[in-house]
Amino acid sequence: SEQDAAAILELLASPQSLKKFHLDKNMTGDDGTAHVGKILEKAPGMQDFKMAGSRFTSEGAKFLAKGLSAGASLVKLDLTDNNVNEEGGFALAGMLFKQPNLKHVNLEATSLGPKAAIQVSQALASGCPQLEYLNLNACDITPEGVPQVAQAISAMKNLKTLKISENELGDLGVAQICVALKMAGCPVVELDVSTNELVEKGAVAAAKLAASRAGFTSLNLDGNYISDEGVEEVKSIMEGAGIASALMPMEENDADMADDVDDDNAEGLDNLLAHLKL
C-alpha cells in the first residue's frame, strides 16, 4: 500500500547501498510508487528492480523512471502487469537509454501501445548492448508499430529470448520480427509469438528462424489460427532441423479460424520468407 511504501522509505537507513528491490503483487498504486521512486533516487547502484502487479499507471511509471535514472547499474527490470501506457512508456524509454548493463527486461501486460513500444525498443537497441531477454507480451503493439520495433530488434546483437505474444501482429508482423532477428545475428534460442492471429506464413517464418539458430530450445505458436497445412509445414521444418522438441504444444491453435492471406500482404510475405531461406 501507499503507507507501507512510505514506511519503507523512512526505515531504510542506507538506501544508497541497495542493489536489489522487489515489490510484488500489491496495492502500491501511483501514490505509493512515488515513495518507491524516492528510494530509487537514493540508490544509484540498483541492479535488480521488480515491481510487478502493483496497480500503478503512467504517473507511477514516470516516478520509477526518474528514480532509476539516478544510476546506470541496472541489470534486470520487471514491471509486469501495470498500466504503464504510452506516456509512462515514453518516460521509461528515456531512462532505459542510459542503462548499458541491462540484460533482462520484462514489460509484459503494460499496455505500452505502438508508439511507446517503438521508443522503448529503440532505447534498448541503442543504450543496452548486453540485452539478452525481452518480454513485450500483451503490450498493444499492433501491426502499425511492427516495422520500427522490428528495426530496433535488428540491432539487438545479444538477444537470446524474445516474447512478443498477444499483440495481434498477424503473419506479416511476425515475419518482419523474424527477419529482424536474423539480421541481428543474435543467438536467439527462445521465441514466443503465440496469440498473434497467425494463419500460415508468419508461423513458417518463425519455424525457419528457429531452424537457422544453433541450440534453439523453444518456439511458441499456440493460440493462433494456423491452417492444417501450415502446422504440417512448421513441423516439417522443425523436424528437418532436428529440433522438433523445441516446438511447444499447439492445443489452443484454431485452424478453423484460418482465413486466406490478404492479397495486399502476399507479396511482402513471400519476400520476407525469401530472407529466411534455409
In this predicted structure, the answer to whether residue 117 has a pLDDT above a threshold of 80 is yes
More confident site: 12 or 15: 15
Q: What is the pLDDT of residue 13?
A: 57
CA distances from residue 59 to 49, 56, 86 in whole angstroms, order as listed: 18, 7, 11
More confident site: 261 or 112: 112
The cell 511492427 sits on which residue?
146
Cα 72–chain centre separation: 21
Q: Is 75 helix (H, G, I), strand (E, B) or coil?
A: coil
Cα 175–chain centre separation: 16
Q: What is the pLDDT of residue 274?
A: 79
The pLDDT tens digits for 141-189 are: 999 999 999 999 999 999 999 999 999 999 999 999 999 999 999 999 9
pLDDT classification of 26: cutoffs 50, 70, 90 = confident
In this predicted structure, the answer to whether residue 7 has a pLDDT above a threshold of 60 is no
Q: Are 155 and 182 in contact (CB under 8 A)?
A: no
Q: What is the pLDDT of residue 263?
A: 52
The pLDDT tens digits for 184-238 are: 999 999 999 999 999 999 999 999 999 999 999 999 999 999 999 999 999 999 9
pLDDT classification of 261: cutoffs 50, 70, 90 = low
Query: Poorest-confidence range of 16-25, 89-98, 189-198, 217-226?
Result: 16-25
More confident site: 106 or 9: 106
Q: How many CA atoms lie within 13 Å of 138's alpha carbon, on the beta-carbon side?
A: 10
Q: Are 144 and 170 in contact (CB under 8 A)?
A: no
In this predicted structure, the answer to whether residue 3 has a pLDDT above a threshold of 70 is no
CA distances from residue 9 to 4, 73, 78 in whole angstroms, order as listed: 9, 21, 20
Q: How many CA atoms lie within 13 Å of 247's alpha carbon, on the beta-carbon side?
A: 25
The pLDDT tens digits for 42-83 are: 999 999 999 999 999 999 999 999 999 999 999 999 999 999
pLDDT classification of 31: cutoffs 50, 70, 90 = very high
Grid cell, residue 57, equals 499507471
Q: What is the pLDDT of residue 262?
A: 57
